Structure formats: structure tokens, C-alpha cells
Structure 1
């Protein structure tokens, strides 16, 4: 590595670029097999081009290390997020070559935590030049930087958080510790292994700590595997998951109020909901923004008779309660539709009344809102291709006629474990399942639906609760607590998926729900204590 730092600039940017490609390969890519170890090896290639010891501090500049991170992000972006240009074309009306140019610019923001890591790493390394610190010991140095990388990965916002932990899903159900420490544990182990690779490439020496941490995590997973709810208790709920496969043109025209388009969308979902095949659903679920007519939850609650006729007909004919993604009118009024609507989910009970509504709380930047705070309202007057939704405030817990509880997440909300944890802790009772309604039609025939489902599955593992995913164009399925999945409605398929979901008799909070990310500090304190103990024994002997 010394010759690389001094004379050859190509590996300094080629290694990270290849690392980014490998990192992306660890996640589902349409048309190619996933490489589960790609994230660890790819991150190791990037970290091998960064300096970690005070004696190497002057071998690379800050600018050079940031360029290495951007090279990594470019490879990661080109393979992992190749669907962004398609989104810009379909959703934003931006065509080639401009959609590709803008898509490549996302390289600058896809891995912000790594930029922060370089800045903090160099600051810590600079301070260590003046006096002996934790960086003086190989194990403590690697442990410290693995902790820093893990913390930054979870506290720095990412629009599509594909973390180091997530490829471990391929090892399910042998992931028992996830209920105690969540995905952050597996991110930490992965970063430790990536630093092990980088350390070996730089020094040709082997440090045992990352291998010990990996081995312990692996053994615990195999001895305490995850399990899903069985049907032994006899308690279950029958769900009808409806996938309309509504194309973007038809969807937009229906939401603009064009009567033929509106009627066609409603007829498709109503017809699928009423499908007769001997299955008597307790709850029928439509995906995100599937109902094109604007609703007003306040009026629906004040006047139960105003429930849309289509909903009454479905509930009356099928004796099934109904959960529908749609648009909820807010109390705000203006001429340019700034926060006048909510992206919402409506629950109509067996009495054909609106029982409750959930309004989406995490809005997608540049799709459902802008991230510029007080400037958003001014910018909304000039930008036409963004839906400026109002932000929801409540965490409702829904209850079916049979007493089965569920909470919900709309679209990308399911990707944020801290958000789901806040939802769980906002209610005294635990849900029997989570409903995740979404619309991935904007991404075209790409890998995004596969990746969205893959990342969503971690919420089922962390909270020991199945996730019921219902989408407009696919993929619709149930993600179980042990890492398994029900049968699917594949992408671009119109139909229904009828599922009998077992219900657990007694529900308990997972340790991760109780302590969240803070549980990791218990592990880190224990590891440092272990290193101190080992050092004392070596000194005494």
C-alpha cells in the first residue's frame, strides 16, 4: 500500500469504485444474483485507501480521501441506484440525457455518512499526533472506527438507507440477536470486518478482534434462531391484499379528475376486492394512494353516511373491513396546493364508518416535499412537479372487529427503524402486524421494488412482527419475523393475494423496541472492557 499512496493514483480511486459496485451487489439487483459479502468486501476496499494511523496521516490529503469516497459512491450509484434516472423521467418529466446527468449527481449525496466519517477520522488522527490515544493500539483503533462508522450510518439521514447490516438477511433465520440490538449490531460487525480487510491490506498484519466479534454474533444467531408465529394457537386473521397494477398515466389522469380514468381505477380495485373464490376476508387492503378521489376524514367522521358508495358496497358484499390508501384533505387552503392534502390511509370498519386515519409523517424529499424548511412554501409556487403534502402528526393503532391490532407505514417510512420504534412505543398495546402500503410504479421495471421489499423485511425481524406489504404494481407479500416470505404478487401483476395470517396469543416487546440504538453502547463498553482485561493479563504475565 505504500507504493499506492506515493506513486499510483489509480488504485486510490479504482479500488473504491470497484468497492461501490461490490457494495451494491450485496442487495437485490434485477437480472443478476446477489453477492452477500459484497458490502463487507466493497467497504473494505474503500477503507483500505484511507489512513487510520497518525504515522500515515500526511500520506493522503483530505481532498484525496473525499474523492475516494465519491469514487465509491459513483460505483454504488451506477449499479445500486440505476433506477433513479427512470424515476426522474417518469415522475419528474426529465428525459435523456438530462435524467442520467441528474441521476449521476446523486453520487454526491448517496453516502453522506462516509464524508462525515472522513472528516471526523482525520480530526481524531490529527489529535493523536500530539499524544498517545486509543489509536495507538490496533484493536482499539479498529473498534473505535467501527463504532464511529456505525453511529454515523444511523444518525446521518439517507433517503434510501441501504445499510451495511441489510445483506445479512440472506442468513435468516439465524439472526437471533437482531431482536435485541436490531440492524445496528450487524452494521457494526460488518464495519469491523471491512476494517479488518483494510488493516490487512495496509499492514499485512491480522488483528483478531473483528473475527471474534463476527464469530460470537454468528454463533448466537445459530443457537437462537428467529421464529415466526405459528397457527397452533388457532388465532388468525384473513387478509385480502389487492394489487391493481395501475399504470402511471391512468393513475395521474384519475387523480386529475378525468371521469373515465377515475371510474376505471375504482372499478379495478372494487372488482378485485369482491372477487369470489371461497375466501372470506376479515380485512381487505388497498395500496398507497389507490383511491383517486380526494377524501376528508373530518367530514367522514362527522357524517358516517358520507362513506363512499364503493367502500360500502365492498364491505356489505364481502363482510370485510377495508383499509385504503388515498388523499386526505387538510384544513389549509391556498392557490398552489401547498400542504392542502395528506398522503393517508383510511380504515373503514364493518359498520361502513371511518374508524381512524393515518397520515404519512416522513415525506420523500423532492417527491412529496422539499427539505428547505421555511423556504418550501415560496419554492412551491415555482415548482410544479412535486406534491407538497402536509405532514401527519399521529400514531394511531387500528383495531379490527375481531380485536386484532395493527399499525401502518406508508412507502419509505418502513425503512426507518427508529420511526417504527417510535410508532410502537407511542401506544400501550402492541400491534399484531404492520401494514406497509406503497406505490413503486414510478420506478419502472427496475430493481427498486426488490430493494424496497428487501430493506423493509428488517422491521419484521427487529420488532418480531410480520409486515404486510401491499403495493400498486408489486411486489405484494407478507414478510415474516423469521426472515421468510409468503407467496408473492410479482411486479406488474394485477390480482389479489389471500393470506391467513396467524396471530400470536401473547405479545412482548423486543429488547430493541425498548432500548433502540442505545443497546449497542452496552456491547461497545463490554468490548473495551474485554480489551483492557486482555491487556492487563498480558502485562501481568
Structure 2
């Protein structure tokens, strides 16, 4: 089929055939995300998006807007359905309690998230120009809808469209200038550019926008090749890290009856020799365990702290995820429980902590405006903490002896661009402790790792990531994986800490450069060529 005939087929489609085209086109976008990272396939959903909006016709602006919104919803539903199917695994961890509610995560959430691209399609139709300018209009509209998705109702910036290009490390370097949303803007434009070949009149003019997109893509590749040094980044002197990945099944991990077995497993694995020349934990300065490592309150369990102290050599420090109890306030029956990172010295004393600020809705707490309704139908948050976790007051640096200050992010916090760095002096690295064991051997942990890795590129800081079931690893400030443990394996990883890179433009300006790009793209949307 000729390209123009394919375009006509999409543009002229109506009713359920059009919805099916939108659904399949949106779903194809998931192929460009981790773990497949088939980033050239971004052309499919974005090109079809242009033709779907072309076909949103009607006698009034209202009917055209409504037609575009419907197409955008089906397109977005396909994208999120294919990109977030793995959320269903969390409902099977305690299947007796949550399996019946699986459709809420697998279908209802994608249906809700699809409202954002629906708004993007609708806004694009309102400003829809003729010719090649509509490529820039689509890029602006979809990117702004993604920005809203990342901020409304605490935000859910998972699988923002720019992540379709982030798997190619040279291209991903553009995030050091414009962040994830700037990368999204150019990703949508590049992916949508071939659409004009199916609708423009024959002649040289029809190639202008695709040629411009190709030049932009080559520019991104060239910038990335120039920015990334050819040599490895030097390590911080005197730092020897050991990352411990226990790979415990989620159903066993939070069972208090297994507390002794879990701690014994951690202690034994942490002291494992990785070669004939190594002496286990005796060789390291810092031992790091994953998020929510224990089914008990570490700070209130002296026996566990004593056993940890017996493991740690002099001047070796443990950094671990753990639930932490705060002070009971007047009028409250129990203390608030925080999802925290705690630092334990070689004497078994907790000397520092960071409390997670950005909690996972429905996973770690129930939104107040929905809590009565949700509990009324027999649901609760996934974590085994009565009432859910309490949120930390503010994002603070974690100070650990022998290490530069850390920008600490626990699990979900790593997916928020521009929000991983605490106020104050620039930290030396990003520390991400997580537990992706809820999602098993699915694409979810790969997507999470990719998003944490992009934070390194945006901020110019190395990443130290420790996950219960993986992926654990060290990433330098250019997004290069220095060392890692694969998903679904048990083990320890010994590595140094790469030095921080130069302060990036994104770290200095935040989304200001992205906002400027939006203005430029709006001006370019007035182009009528092709």
C-alpha cells in the first residue's frame, strides 16, 4: 500500500475502525520503551496521531474538538494499556486480597491516564494549521498534556513520550539541556514528521519537514557523541561500595514471621566473597541494602542492629531502606510510619535518615478524597502498614561518613524530573533505593531503571541504585551503566562511586529551556510548507 493511501485510510476512518486504528497505533509506542527500546518505532504512533487529528472533521470547532478527543483517548488507552500492563503483577502478590481488583490497575488506570493525550489531541485540533506546521502543533499539544500528567494530582510521569528516545544514550543527552519534557517535545516532532509524506502534494516541498526531522535527529546524535567522554569517569577516592540485591519474593519479604530468615539472608549475602582475592564486606567502605529491607522497625529492634554491627568492620557504614517510626502526636493512637533510608554505623547506631516525601498513591497511602470510598469496597493500600505510610516533610540530603552528600530518592521518587535534588549545595550523587519485587520479571523494573538513569543525565550526577530484585547498578553522570546486577538474580556488586559531572544546563535552569522550546515550536507551527 502506498504511503498516501495509508494516510487516506486513517484520515477517512470513522467509528469503531478509527478507534481500533488509534488503539493499535498507541499500543505500538510501547515497543519503543524498555526493555525493547525499539526507538525508531516512535514514528508509528506519532505519524498516525497526525492523521487521526487530520480526520477529526466537523462543521463546528466543537465537533472537531470532540472527534479529536475521542481519537486521542483511544490512542492513549492503547499506549498506557501496552506500557503499564505489568502493574497487574502487584495485585497477585497477595492474590487473596487484591486479585479481584486487578482490572483497576490494568484497565482503569490506563483509561484514566488516556484523558491526558485526549486533551492533547483536542488542543492540537484547536490550533491545527495546514501543512508541516501541524507537526509542531502536535508536539506542543502532546508535550503539554504530558507535563500536566506529571503534575496533576501529585503527578504520574511514568513512560512520558520522551522515554521512547531515552534508550539511545547519545540521543538521551539532550535531557541535560531540556530535561525529559524537552526531549519529549523533539521526540514527538521527529516521530510525527513522516506524516506529511502521506498527505502533501508531490514535489520537493513535501520533504522539508522530514528532512528537518532527520537533521534534528542527527543533531541529537552528534551532541550526544560530543558530550559523552571517551574515557570512563574517575571514581571518588577512598570509596568502595557494595550493593546487595537479595532477590526475595515479595510475598515472603514483608511477612514478620520471616524476619529472622530475612536478616540472616542479608548478612550472609553481604559478606559473600566475589572473587578469590576478595574478603567480602571487609573490603568495602559502604554496604547498601534496598528499600523497605525489613518486615520490622529497624530503629526499634536492637537485636537486629547488634547483628549488623557484628557484620560491619570498623569504619564501614550500612545504608539501608527501612520503615521508621516517628513520634506519636497528641491525640493519635500510634506513631506515623515513614518509608525511609537509614544509615547505620559500625557500632549499630542509626546516625542519619531520610523519609520518603513523594509516596505512591494507592500503593503506600490512599488519597484522602477517595479513602472512605476505597475502604468501603474492601480495598487498602498495598503496603502492610495500618493506615499507610506518612510522607516526609521535605527532600533533604543524606549525609554519610566518607561519601559526598546524596540526593536520596526512594523508589517512585526517581521518576520525577527536576524533583530529585534537595535544596542547598549540590550533592555528589543520586541514591535510589527501591523494591520492584512487586512487579516480578516484567517490563516495569526495566522502565523504572531507565527513568532513574535519565535523572543522572539531567542532573549530571552519578546514580547508585539498589533494588530488591533488580535492576541494581552504578550509572555515571552521562547515563552510562558502569556495573549492574540483572533483574531476578541474587548477588552483590562491588564498585567505586563515579565523580559528579559538570553542572548541566537543566540543573541550572530547570524547565525554563523547555518552556522556550515550546514557544519556538508554537511559532514553527505557523509554517504552511508541505
Q: State whether structure 2 residue 506 is matched by structure 1 residue 503.
A: no
Q: Tell whether the 8 Å contact from 1:397 to 1:405 is kept in structure 2 after alignment.
A: yes
Which of 83, 86, 94 is 1:80 aligned to? 83
Q: Which residue of 2 aligns with 1:226?
A: 228
TM superposition score normalised by structure 1: 0.81
Q: Which residue of 1 aligns with 2:241?
A: 239
Give the CA deviation at 1:137. 5.7
1:163 aligned counterpart, secondary structure: coil
Query: What are the superposed Cα offsets for residues 443-479 of structure 1, whole Å, 9 maximum, x if unpaired?
Result: 1222211121122211011111111110111111112
2: CA distance, partners of 1:67 / 1:442: 33
1:477 aligned counterpart, secondary structure: strand
The 3 A distance-change label for structure 1 pair 473 and 220 is closer
Q: Which residue of 2 aligns with 1:468?
A: 464
Q: Which residue of 1 aligns with 2:116?
A: 113
Query: What are the superposed Cα offsets for residues 94-149 of structure 1, whole Å, 9 maximum, x if unpaired?
Result: 67676357522333123332022134335x35xxxxxxxxx556454442442232
Q: State whether structure 2 residue 442 is matched by structure 1 residue 443.
A: no
1:501 aligned counterpart, secondary structure: coil
Q: State whether structure 2 residue 18 is matched by structure 1 residue 22.
A: no
Q: State whether structure 2 residue 291 is matched by structure 1 residue 285.
A: no
Q: Which residue of 2 aligns with 1:43?
A: 46
Q: Which residue of 1 aligns with 2:508?
A: 514
2: CA distance, partners of 1:197 / 1:58: 26
Q: Which residue of 2 aligns with 1:431?
A: 427
The 3 A distance-change label for structure 1 pair 94 and 431 is same
Structure 2: runs of 5 or more not aligned: 1-6
The 3 A distance-change label for structure 1 pair 295 and 434 is same
2: CA distance, partners of 1:27 / 1:97: 28
2:484 aligned counterpart, secondary structure: coil
The 3 A distance-change label for structure 1 pair 338 and 92 is farther
Give the CA deviation at 1:179. 1.4
1:478 aligned counterpart, secondary structure: strand
Structure 1: runs of 5 or more not aligned: 126-134
Q: Which moves more between the two structures, 166-175 or 331-340?
A: 331-340
How large is the Cα RMSD of the aligned pairs?
3.6
Q: State whether structure 2 residue 200 is matched by structure 1 residue 184.
A: no
Which of 264, 268, 271 is 1:274 aligned to? 271
Give the CA deviation at 1:367. 0.8
Q: Which residue of 2 aligns with 1:346?
A: 342
Q: State whether structure 2 residue 328 is matched by structure 1 residue 326.
A: no
1:237 aligned counterpart, secondary structure: coil
2: CA distance, partners of 1:249 / 1:501: 33
2: CA distance, partners of 1:347 / 1:146: 44
Q: Which residue of 2 aligns with 1:416?
A: 416
Give the CA deviation at 1:92. 6.2
2: CA distance, partners of 1:498 / 1:397: 24
The 3 A distance-change label for structure 1 pair 26 and 475 is same
Give the CA deviation at 1:436. 0.7
The 3 A distance-change label for structure 1 pair 53 and 448 is closer
Matches within 5 A, 1:289-328: 289-295=292-298, 308-315=305-312, 317=313, 319-328=315-324
Q: Which moves more between the two structures, 164-173 or 512-521?
A: 164-173
Give the CA deviation at 1:242. 0.6
Q: Which residue of 2 aligns with 1:253?
A: 255
The 3 A distance-change label for structure 1 pair 503 and 336 is same
Q: Which residue of 1 aligns with 2:4?
A: none
The 3 A distance-change label for structure 1 pair 518 and 25 is same
The 3 A distance-change label for structure 1 pair 269 and 336 is farther
Q: Tell whether the 8 Å contact from 1:433 to 1:466 is kept in structure 2 after alignment.
A: yes
Number of matched residues?
503
Which of 168, 183, 187 is 2:165 aligned to? 168
Which of 466, 475, 478 is 2:474 aligned to? 478
2: CA distance, partners of 1:146 / 1:36: 17
1:168 aligned counterpart, secondary structure: helix
1:419 aligned counterpart, secondary structure: coil
Give the CA deviation at 1:325. 0.3
The 3 A distance-change label for structure 1 pair 459 and 94 is same
Give the CA deviation at 1:343. 0.7
Give the CA deviation at 1:412. 1.3
Query: What are the superposed Cα offsets for residues 218-256 of structure 1, whole Å, 9 maximum, x if unpaired?
Result: 3254142324884557735211101111212321312xx
Query: What are the superposed Cα offsets for residues 156-175 of structure 1, whole Å, 9 maximum, x if unpaired?
Result: 23535102211323332354
Q: Which residue of 2 aligns with 1:357?
A: 353
Q: Tell whether the 8 Å contact from 2:50 to 2:195 is kept in structure 1 after alignment.
A: yes
1:312 aligned counterpart, secondary structure: helix
Which of 512, 517, 527 is 1:523 aligned to? 517
Matches within 5 A, 1:61-210: 62-91=65-94, 93=96, 99-100=102-103, 103-122=106-125, 124-125=126-127, 136=129, 138-157=131-150, 159=156, 161-173=158-170, 175-203=172-200, 206=206, 208-209=208-209
Query: What are the superposed Cα offsets for residues 82-101 of structure 1, whole Å, 9 maximum, x if unpaired?
Result: 22222222256467676357
